[in-house]
Structure 1
């Protein structure tokens, strides 16, 4: 009998469903960047409103990830995927009806619930569907879709905004969610982990602790550290760890943190997410407010990143047959650091074009290798929990990036603006554009360029730290004939 006889013949169609589901989330996350000017004009959204339209989703999403990832292992990963798609699509439909900023913020929070149910299932189903020799190829396709969505969101969003309105960027999610739900039922078998008792206290503590932590991160640059919420986060997460060590049925398998590969990949992903998290927000504003591009032009202007990342995802798959994951992660991080150096010295679109090509190449090498390393350290029966931990690291890194780098950008921008400028223009380049004074606009564009340069140097540091961490913590791996590299010790053990 063939060694491959037990494989699901529909596995590549399952991957298509997973990629469709992922596409819904990624497009929504990035498409809002090009909608910011329209939201300010049509909804009367203030910079604070914009911050919460972006962050309401992140707050709920990051707070629920560990819980939903564990529940999907118990109750069915396809089930949670479908419920998440339905909630996400329904909340997107509600978002199109918003007439006030608070209504859109509420819809975004509901979208966060759907996203938290949906996202862990995509990666956990991928890991449990594909065997080791095909997993890297499947992971590369998954990563390519994520990358294409990051860029395709602003591009498609720009076209929709120019032809219709900001509401159309949310309406876009609905048909994709419906198609993914139908395809999931038609093509995807239900998958779940071994039956385990629930950990209700762990669910409560992790949700409260993570939500409080992300809230503190989001608000700290603007309102200062909320001492009460910081204490809630610290106390509940500390109790959560103590409880998980004592309970016989933990929701979070703490033994994962004994693995060097898990720790190294997790914190490399955290630093990588922090370094690049605010980049797309920064670049779309640079293209629209500094270079004067329209929404569609701004979206198209980001395509070099997607093209390079797509190509180098598959270059990484080929190189994975010859070098280990650690080498790919380190090389990718160094390449990404170089892209930030170029971006720090950007003086127009073409230098930005070069930086995006380099950044896409680095991300294409490092990203799939890091995700593969992390998920390879997670037992298959806890794939949902492992995927949730991976997503949580990314979201915390993204939230930190948007909050901290956003604060740095705002601070540098304000400091560089003339003191005689109107208060609104000193706080936001978007407001300076709205005012329309040529002299004020020139000063605002120069100030934003200085702020972006400093933010890029922060990206250089984060990428180099991620590479150094991967080099020092991850175990050296032997190239595998199949997609996932294994350690030399594991290779001997399985021989």
Structure 2
């Protein structure tokens, strides 16, 4: 093979710098602000996980929310969040990610203040939906801005740090929630977001540059409408199925089937549109499809377990909200330690091997719950949470890089929206499906122990462990003691079944990434990117 001629080398086009120097110099400060914004959203959800027992308590301690209302306090957020993620990402690409980010943070802060003042479960559910509306504009924008202020070779490192901030939120949230619940009323877990939102708004206004797609093309209103309707119907049906613990009910099947049909119509429309909201051909890339599938599967497995682990730690083990939060610290610590370094392991062994092992670690951690009982040593709990966090830390950064680097830089908002939409739909499925499994098994086990309960209260007593324990308390310490023991046994039995189901889903995820993710990272191969140069970001502090 002949060497390239000097003239050919001389005329080879030099790569254009994609990022203005002023923005490049402050990229790590920008990442810090983006992590801060993401932290607000993650922290709020992790706080709520340890507060469910308090909110379920009668006034004045809580607002007397039932298990169904608690699920809707979580799921109203998820429903709005998942339904609008894709549209929010498109808006960021079109009108500017900084504008969308500032708007989302502001709405999230207003929703937090209103949620703190809720006087009933219905009000809490409503304001949580408003918080989900704001968060839908925050999540895609943070990752899209990140992709636009870092060059391609630094993106894996930046995404690893970004993912590690999720671990920080998981750690800070339960501890903060526990401290607040010990000293203040339950609404303080939402009110604490307000000063953080104010700081984030100021920092973003000063540091974060704006960016958008330089050639957004025509608006695709049909595609946008189909995506919103399809996702909302699908997620609602999933949530409703979990609420009823019955996926054959008409009110469950109709929205799920309707949502799938609308989403199929969305795909059909996008394939034929001259100006699609998203290029469906990206899903033909095995690595891209495997990455989004892995995101959905790992959050399916983990979100369901996160929901029931709060009841296991507080209702069965008797730990306080603060103690429960401290027990989750090993999971968060593992993410913070390993997520920023995951790129180094991927460079050496390849994304396929790293993500497969990560999925297997998550599956092992989930399966371990099937061995837990009312007396499992605390150090075993901490070890299992650490293993789960380690697995997560070696899954999320590589698959996020795979999704984001598969799309052109100017479509970063859309790519981030795809990443987060699959995560949210997977998480909603996990809570609904695994929650319904937990509920069904628990009801089946506890029904035979409700003989001493008055006939009018039996249906309520069988709904959940919290409901059973509430009835047992009313029966008195002597008559209620056997019912408490039966409730603990029934919940642990249901948890075992649910944990094995979660582990099975994680194993499916391991199979998907083992078959379809690339064996080696391509970040350092020097291959040309099939994307248009990014226009200069709007200067800040002119």
Residue-by-residue CA offset, 1:100-155 (whole Å, 9 max, x unaligned): 11111110111111011111001111111111222122111111111121232122
Quote the offset at 1:424 in angstroms: 2.7
| Map of 1:248 onto structure 2 | 274
Q: Please tell me whether the aligned partners of residues 477 and 485 of structure 1 are also in contact (alpha carbons under 8 angstroms).
A: no
Structure 2 partner of 1:26: 42
> 1:386 aligns to what?
415
Alignment of 1:273-288 (within 5 A): 273-288=299-314
Distance in 1 (alpha carbons) for counterparts of 2:76 and 2:149 = 33
| Residue 230 of structure 1, CA deviation | 3.3
For the pair 1:212 / 2:233, whether they are aligned, the reply is yes
Counterpart check, 1:356 vs 2:385: yes
Q: 2:492 aligns with which of 417, 430, 449?
A: 449
Deviates more, 1:239-248 or 1:207-216: 239-248
The equivalent residue for 1:17 is: 33
Equivalent of residue 520 in structure 2, options 477, 491, 495: 477
Partner of 2:537: none
Task: Confirm or deny that 1:307 pairs with 2:333.
Answer: yes
Deviations 1:5-31 (A, max 9, x none): 846111011101110110111111221
Deviation, structure 1 residue 490: 7.0
**Alignment of structure 1 residues 194-233 onto 2, 5 Å:** 194-196=214-216, 197-223=218-244, 224-226=249-251, 227-233=253-259
Give deviations 1:58-101, integer Å, cap 9, x for gaps.
11110111111001100000110000000000011111111011
Counterpart contact for 2:434–2:502, Cα < 8 Å: no
Indicate conservation of the 8 Å contact 2:42/2:170, yes or no. yes
Matched positions, count: 486
Offset from partner CA, 1:217-260 (integer Å, 9 cap, x none):
11123342424423431332222222211221111221211211
1:489 deviation in Å?
7.5
Correspondence for 1:431: 467
Q: What's the secondary structure of 1:198's corresponding residue?
A: coil
Match of 2:262 in 1: 236
370, 373, 397: which one aligns with 2:426: 397
Q: Which moved more, 1:385-394 or 1:317-326?
A: 317-326
Aligned to 1:333: 359
CA distance in 2, matches of 1:390, 1:88: 21
Match of 2:52 among 19, 33, 36: 36
Deviates more, 1:74-83 or 1:435-444: 435-444
Deviating runs (4+, > 6 A) in structure 1?
1-5, 488-491
Check whether the contact 2:449–2:486 (CA below 8 A) recurs between aligned residues.
no
> CA contact under 8 A between 1:342 and 1:351: conserved in structure 2?
no
| Mapped partners of 2:49, 2:411: distance in 1 | 35
Residue 141 in 1 paired to residue 161 in 2? yes
Q: Distance in 2 between matches of 1:442 and 1:74?
A: 58
Counterpart-to-counterpart distance in 1, 2:86 and 2:250: 24
Partner of 1:468: 511
Cα shift at 1:475? 2.7
Matched, 1:152 2:181: no
TM-score (norm 2): 0.86
Residues 489 and 181 (structure 1), Cα distance of their counterparts in 2 relative to 1, 3 Å cut: closer
Residues 342 and 354 in structure 1, CA contact (< 8 A), matched pair in contact too: no
